Amino acid sequence: MIQNTAIERINLRASAEAKQIIEQAAQLIGTSLSAFMLNQSYEAALKIINQHQAWVLSNADRDALLNALESPPQ
């Protein structure tokens, strides 16, 4: 969860159905619509950024990479 030191504004439009579902979810966890939307989008953004910054290699790929780094072509 992020700290609420809000100074920036984000505006968006949603369908009535999307708004209703998001409001219901926010109410179920006892938070405001704005806090729910900000926290959920923030967490999703962090996850996406982390996935794009990390390499996930199989054991064979890891071994090939390490071998290439240890024995570069002459």
Burial of 63 (0-12, 13-18, 19+ CB in 10 A): exposed
The pTM for the full model equals 0.66
Q: Which amino acid is at 22?
A: I
CB burial of 36-61 (b: ≥16 within 10 Å; e: otherwise) equals bbbbeeeeeeeeeeeeeeeeeeeeee
The per-residue pLDDT string of the chain (74 residues; one tens digit each, 9 = 90 and over) reads 666 677 899 999 999 999 999 999 999 999 999 999 999 999 999 999 999 998 889 999 999 999 999 987 77
DSSP string covering 4-31: ------------HHHHHHHHHHHHHTT-
Q: Give the start-to-end residue ranges of the domains of the chain.
A: 16-70
Residues 62 and 53: their CA atoms lie apart, in Å, by: 16
